[in-house]
Amino acid sequence: MSEVNHYVDYRREGGIAFLSMCHAPVNTLSYELRCAIDHYLDVAEQDQEVKALVLRSELSAFSAGADISEFGTEKSFAEPSLPALCDRIDRFPKWVIAEVAGYALGGGLELALAADKRIATRGSKLGLPEVNLGILPGAGGTQRLPRLIAPSLAARMMCDGKPISSEQALDLGLVNALLASSEHSEAAIHQLLKECEAGTPDNMFEQDYSLSREEETALLEYQAQQARRWTGLKSPQAIIEAVQRGMKSSLEDALALERKLFNDCAASPQARALQHAFFAEKDALKVPGINRDDARLAIQEVAIIGSGLMGCGIAINFLLAGIPTRLLDVNSEALEKARAYIQKTIESGRDKGRISAQICEQAMAALSTASDYEDIANADLVIEAVFEDLTVKQSVFKELNRHCKAEAILASNTSTLDLNAIADVCARPENVIGLHFFSPANIMKLLEVVRTERTSEPVLATCLKLAKKINKVAVTVGVCYGFVGNRMVAPYSREAFRMVLEGASPSQVDSALREFGMAMGPIEMADMAGIDVGCMAALANQHEWQGEESYQALQFALREQGRLGQKTSAGVYRYDGGKKQEDPEVLALAKEIAQSQGIEQRNISKEEIIQRCIFSLANEGFRILEEGIALRSGDIDVIYLNGYGFPRWRGGPMQYADETGLQNVLQGLENLQKNLGAYGERWFAAAPLLKELAQANRSAKSFSNV
Ligand code: NAD
């Protein structure tokens, strides 16, 4: 009895019983909370005085849904299971009103859907986000929601996975009344019960439902519209099936169908991958010894040195967060252009309805420019984004060291340079850190936070806290060439270009990887970034490939011809009228280079393309892990999911390796090493850590530097 009181507060006032969940912090529907709810349902059912039951929360949220930490454990389905609890509430012989405040998500909303009526406070959120974890609502949500609102809209809400506001829920008929605040609930409850007086409590099990022809057409049209976005995804398709077939069956049969579809999805590699991604993003925020609450400095003013492509994108993040930001550049024309570009970008966000007119105005008012370091002396954070040249960057940091206040954080956006060498020119190296944004910096979610040998803990904590404020997914990494993301992309791109020399067409390589799920193929990505940029990166990394002529030889030859990618309307592909086309001239050029280097051309299968690119990516990931540059394999995955268009439903390159089985990855690499001659010998040696884990039958996930 005392145990259940920890989870639920129960009291009766006249004929109404109030069952208030109080399982801090967010009423996850753990086994213990379910037992407590079930217990008080018994009490309310047996108490003759009780005419109606109000299911609510003592906390600021109604419920965040199932307890994800129970997933895969016996507790998850131990009785009373969540589906059983929802069924019981649906069949409950007395009126049940769910009072939603804060948010009702996933299982939390399913619980509310099983009640007879729902009231919600203004501003609360209701949603079924299971699709984001590769599953579907499994406690009746796929069946009760389309029985309450238009089935096609119910399917949209579940397939989108995004919560809706209580105001939208009222319009849809999902809630029966809105409250200005939870303090006004008593009157609304009495009003609802008054309206109910004449009837008997709803029981969906005993009612007839059907799917109208119009609704079925709307459902299937929606499915067809989403076909491209859902490529490779299992759970949205399962949701459509659950709604379409379920609405034509009794609730009992429909729930059995939901259970089957739920189990199929839950057991799929995709669900494992999406759940891995979810947890990996949470874990990436945990850095040993670093507590974001220890953030030392309030960042009230930011300065950005270099107002080029990256400087502008980075500035927009801070401006939209309402932080005054000053751009400094040696080139006054660049500063003028930057101001115009930032204004255009922010205003276009407003015109598309992504930001309010007020935020737009505030952001522009927060922007200023400077040409003198004296003007940025007060900045709390300075981010350098000048040319990728160590000497230039060191000269900037010497100026920062001279002019900035003692506690200012001095950050660099370098993609590849040695941050320790940059920190060396400062008298306060503990304040130096890498903040590696990705292009376009105002859109890409990823932020690699690069910790040098001497970066202080409070500086790191401040940057991690700040990342959240500007809505970035931050991953802490160590210093090495290219850090995590760009270092791994090197072998991935090397294989893509090498296979073109070996006889694959660029579009074959790109399509194979797109089919695998990548947002873009590696060759079209190189054209987009600029062939010259790729060549510069390869040159900067020369020590890796000296003596290996084939290394991106095609890129160097294209650069010679002035084919620099999309920006010159020709790179590996030709872009006539902006449309990408395979270019026979490039195929001939590749053949010529292959002949001159003694590379035999042949047919290359899709499987080989995927193995060579993705296994190379993961293999480099194992080296990075072994060197301690990344803390965990999940951190590497978070980087690839948020910065490189790796399909979330595959969980990232390291999760893909785990799912494939490390022994199979090792075997694949060893075969490539054997079959690709001297080239294979040179580039396909498996990382020692991969070998070690594979031999011990362990996963990448099981290894940690934490
Ligand atoms: P960019 O050429 O567009 O802009 C560089 C700006 O720095 C120019 O406006 C230039 O006038 C200014 N500048 C040069 N020297 C300066 C100095 N001493 N003091 C003040 N201003 C100076 O370059 P970008 O693409 O924005 O790249 C900037 C940095 O960001 C580089 O370190 C690059 O490696 C990194 N980066 C670039 C990308 C990308 O995709 N472009 C992605 C991540 C990181």
Where does the pLDDT of residue 2 fall: very low under 50, low under 70, confident under 90, or very high at 90 and above?
low
**Is 240 inside any structural domain?**
yes
CA atoms of 183 and 178, how far apart (whole Å): 12
447 lines ligand 1 (CB under 6 A): no
| Least confident piece of the model among 49-58, 96-105, 179-188 | 179-188
Write down the residue that tokens 């009344």 correspond to: 177
Residue 78 pLDDT grade (very low, low, confident, very high; cuts 50, 70, 90): very high
Assess if residue 280 is contained within a domain: no
Q: Which of 388, 396, 391 is nearest to 330 (CA)?
A: 396
- 366 is a domain residue: yes
Centre of ligand 1 to C-alpha 40, Å, is: 63
Residue 652 covered by a domain = yes
**Pair (668, 549) in one structural domain:** yes
Backbone angles phi, psi at 581, to 5 degrees: -140, 145
7 pLDDT band (50/70/90 cuts)? very high
By alpha-carbon position, which residue is closest to atom 39 of ligand 1? 439
- Please give the biggest Cα pair distance in the chain: 93
- The pLDDT > 90 percentage for the chain reads 88
> What does the DSSP assignment read for 7-48?
TEEEEEETTEEEEEE--TTT-B--HHHHHHHHHHHHHHHH-T
Question: Are 530 and 396 contained in the same domain?
Answer: no
Q: What is the mean pLDDT of residues 148-169?
A: 97
* Among the listed residues 644, 366, 388, 662, the one whose alpha carbon sits nearest the alpha carbon of residue 525: 644
3-class secondary structure, 191: helix
CATH of the domain at 511: 1.10.1040.50
Q: Does the residue 272 lie in any domain?
A: no
Residues belonging to the active site: 110, 130
Same domain assignment for residues 456 and 490: no
Alpha carbon of 607 to ligand 1 centroid (Å): 38
Q: How far is the CA of 386 from the centre of ligand 1 (A)?
A: 3
Q: Is the CB of 396 under 6 A from ligand 1?
A: yes
Which of 44 and 534 is assigned the larger pLDDT?
44
Residues 12 and 81 in one domain: yes
Closest CA to 460 of 333, 288, 339, 575: 288
Q: Grade residue 167 by pLDDT with cuts at 50, 70 and 90.
A: very high
- Please say which residue of 443, 477, 511 terminates a domain: 477
Q: Model confidence over 558-577: pLDDT tens digits?
A: 999 999 999 999 999 999 88
DSSP-assigned letters across all residues of 355-371: S-HHHHHHHHHTEEEES
| 469 and 497 co-located in one domain | no
Q: Does ligand 1 lie within 6 Å of residue 399's CB atom?
A: no
Domain boundary (421, 450, 477) is at 477
Q: Quick one: 441 and 531 in the same domain?
A: no
> In testing the pocket of ligand 1, which one of 371, 386, 443, 484 has its CB within 8 Å of the most ligand atoms?
386
Structural domains counted in the chain: 3
What is the domain extent for residue 627? 486-702
Q: Is residue 651 part of a domain?
A: yes
State pLDDT tens for residues 392-415. Answer: 999 999 999 999 999 999 999 999
Determine the average pLDDT of the residues in 587-592: 97
pLDDT of 192 > 90? The answer is no
Give the CATH number of the domain where residue 235 resides.
3.90.226.10
Closest-CA residue to 633 (of 278, 280, 162)? 280
pLDDT band for position 52 (50/70/90)? very high
Tens digit of pLDDT for each residue in 258-284? 999 999 999 999 999 999 999 999 999
Residue 301 has pLDDT above 70, yes or no: yes
b or e along 359-376 (b: 16 or more beta carbons within 10 Å of the residue's beta carbon)?
bbeebeebbebbeebeeb
Same domain? 320 vs 452: yes
540 lines ligand 1 (CB under 6 A): no
Q: What's the pLDDT at 533?
A: 87
CA distances from 426 to 376, 387, 396, 431 (A): 17, 19, 10, 9
Same domain, 351 and 466: yes
Structure tokens at 158: 């579940």
Cβ 655 vs Cβ 699: under 8 Å: no
Q: Domain check: are 393 and 492 in the same one?
A: no
Q: Which two tokens stand for residue 405?
A: 């206040």
Average pLDDT over residues 619-627: 98
Residue 537 beta carbon below 6 angstroms from any ligand 1 atom:
no
471/491 same-domain check: no
The verdict on residue 379 lying in a domain is yes
Is 305 close to ligand 1, i.e. is its CB under 6 Å away? yes
Q: Provide the residue type at 595 as one letter.
A: Q
Tell me: the pLDDT tens digits for 84-132? 999 999 999 999 999 999 999 999 999 999 999 999 999 999 999 999 9
Mean pLDDT of the chain: 95
Q: How far apart are CA 633 and CA 706, in angstroms?
A: 11
Q: Are residues 494 and 516 in the same domain?
A: yes
Is 273 domain-assigned? no
Residue 554 has pLDDT above 80, yes or no: yes
Residue 694: pLDDT band by 50, 70, 90 thresholds? very high
The pLDDT confidence band at residue 660, using thresholds 50, 70 and 90, is very high
Residue pointed to by tokens 């208030």: 20
Structure tokens at 234: 């299992």
Q: Cα(384) to centroid of ligand 1, in Å?
A: 8
CATH assignment of the domain containing 447: 3.40.50.720
Cβ contacts of residue 38 below 8 Å, gap of 6+? 80, 85, 88
Does residue 454 sit in the same domain as residue 358? yes
Q: Is the CB of 413 under 6 A from ligand 1?
A: yes
CA of 599 to the centre of ligand 1 (A): 38
Average pLDDT of the residues in 135-150: 97
Q: Locate the ligand 1 atom nearest the alpha carbon of residue 313 and give its number.
A: 26
Q: Which of 191-200, 218-227, 556-565 has the lowest mean pLDDT?
A: 191-200
pLDDT above 80: residue 183: no
| Last residue of one domain, picked from the residues 457, 477, 497 | 477
DSSP state of 591: H
430-443 mean pLDDT: 96
pLDDT of residue 390: 93
